[in-house]
Amino acid sequence: MDTAALTAARTLLDEVFEGDVSDHDWEHCLGGVHALAWEGHELVAHAAVVQRRLLHRGRALRAGYIEGVGVRANRRRRGHGAAVMEALERVLRGAYELGSLGATDEGADFYAARGWKLWQGPTSALTPAGTRRTEREDGSIYVLPGAVPLDLSGELTCDWRDGDVW
């Protein structure tokens, strides 16, 4: 994306999340594929997919992790969120073994309606100090299964990154 589109996306996410997008949160959106919805010259929706490694049942899985999903408040319920997610779900199905994301309480029903499955088992992160449980994230991680069999009640461990690990 060019600088203007990146600036518009960051501004949109700051607005949508009322200033609660840290530099780490924004950095997590970079380096992957972005989906944007515009109305004229105004960016109204954004989402990105980045590559991560998730550990499950003794395997390191190539996962597409969804980041920075946001729709301008006055443009919600018009299909913009579905449009950016549909574009990224095509990327997930074509390039990754599974999709994953951390959902807000407000977004959980949206993802479930799109076929995303709530991870019911414990979550962890592979940190510089070893594997650590991420209990606070339990009940908010969703996956879009691909060809790899998943045990949704098993443990799911994400790779390390600065800021929020999930």
**Distance between CA atoms of 65 and 62, rounded to whole angstroms?**
9
Structure tokens at 140: 């908010």
What structural domains does the chain harbor?
3-158 (3.40.630.30)
Cβ proximity of 125 and 134 under 8 Å: yes
Nearest to 13 by CA among 44, 50, 49, 52: 44
pLDDT in tens, the chain (166 residues): 999 999 999 999 999 999 899 999 999 999 999 999 999 999 999 999 999 999 999 999 999 999 999 999 999 999 999 999 999 999 999 999 999 999 999 999 999 999 999 999 999 999 999 999 999 999 999 999 998 999 999 999 999 999 999 9
Instruction: Give the global pTM.
Output: 0.95
